[in-house]
Amino acid sequence: MSTSEHAFNALGDPTRRAIFEKLHDRPLAVVAIADGLPISRPAVSQHLKVLKEAKLISLKTEGNKNIYELNREGILAMRDYLDKFWDDALANFKALSEAAENDKKQ
Amino acid sequence: MSTSEHAFNALGDPTRRAIFEKLHDRPLAVVAIADGLPISRPAVSQHLKVLKEAKLISLKTEGNKNIYELNREGILAMRDYLDKFWDDALANFKALSEAAENDKKQ
DNA sequence: CTTAATGGTAAGTATTAACTTACCGTAAGT
DNA sequence: ACTTACGGTAAGTTAATACTTACCATTAAG
């Protein structure tokens, strides 16, 4: 499974998107992330694991706190996938419609 | 739910990603999309519905065939979300670290 | 007109995955 | 040393969603 596949998978869940967006403004410890969310703290830990494996976030340990923050790698992997996907698709469609034009002229 | 939320949700499923990528090269009818996939044709129809609602694909009817093709709107919505998200996050972090610097100097 | 092909929707089942409680280890504070 | 705060993992349950079969409507072909 590629990085972008992991990332799409991770952001497919609304709770994980909420966690992801909580980290938008600043890095946060697990308790702070869980605060306000309608699920238990272990559930948050499990979501963090998925987001980390997708390289959408990373963590640094400070004392007994695990501070999570956004990770450029996973975000960029998705964006690049979408960019390339769309560019290639456009090129394919252009080639297809030109081939169709040629068929008509014969 | 915004367009990009719908789109992230839709591409969270591996089967839907497979369908999405099948349309990369050219528009296809439902039977052609289902061909080769290890699931029933109605299941494919249900996935197509989700992808369509996310504006990742669109359809044009030709006789009794429904031809599905990629839709720029949903793809762009995701890409723009990611772009903006990352740019803003960078700006936030920069502001944060500058504030931390100022605190030190006091 | 009849038959075959295409494909959407409904209802129910099965599988996935999100979630809970319980538990443990580590670090910080008293 | 004891206690509190932090947070990861395991095992089991619950809830979400992917899937199947059955059915129907529409269009094309015979």
pLDDT of residue B85: 97
Q: What is the pLDDT of residue A38?
A: 97
CA nearest neighbour of A95 among B25, B29, B19, B73: B25
| pLDDT at site B103 | 57
pLDDT of amino acid A30: 98
**B3-45 pLDDT per residue, tens:** 999 999 999 999 999 999 999 999 999 999 999 999 999 999 9
Average of per-residue pLDDT across B54-80: 97
Distance CA B36, CA B40 (A): 10
Q: How far apart are the C-alpha atoms of A103 and A99, rounded to whole Å?
A: 6
Which residue has tokens 């456009």?
A90
Please compute, for residue A20, the number of CA atoms within 13 A of its CA located in the half-sphere on the CB side: 27
| Backbone region of residue A35 per phi and psi (left: phi > 0; alpha: psi in -120 to 50; beta: other values) | beta
Q: What is the pLDDT of residue B98?
A: 76
- Which sign does the torsion angle of CA A14, A31, A77, A4 carry? negative
Nearest to B24 among A25, A75, A89 (CB): A89
pLDDT of A106 > 70? The answer is: no
pLDDT at B100 > cutoff 70: no
pLDDT digits (tens, 9 = 90+) for A38-85: 999 999 999 999 999 999 999 999 999 999 999 999 999 999 999 999
pLDDT digits (tens, 9 = 90+) for A89-103: 999 888 877 776 665
- Tell if A97 CB is < 7 Å from nucleic strand C: no
Computed over its alpha carbons, how large is the radius of gyration of chain A? 20
In this structure, are residues A71 and A10 in contact, taking their beta carbons and an 8 Å threshold? no
DSSP structure class, residue B28: E
Ordered by where they begin, the domains of chain B are: 3-99 (1.10.10.10)
d(CA B25, CA B40): 23
> Among A43-52, B2-11, B61-70, B88-97, which is the least confidently predicted range?
B88-97
Q: Which nucleotides of D are covered by protein (CB under 7 A)?
A: 5-10, 17-22, 26-28
Mutate which of B5, B8, B24 to test chain A, going by most A C-beta atoms within 10 A?
B8
In chain B, pLDDT over 70 holds for what percent of residues? 93
Residues B96-100: contacts with CB under 8 Å, at least 24 apart: B96/A26
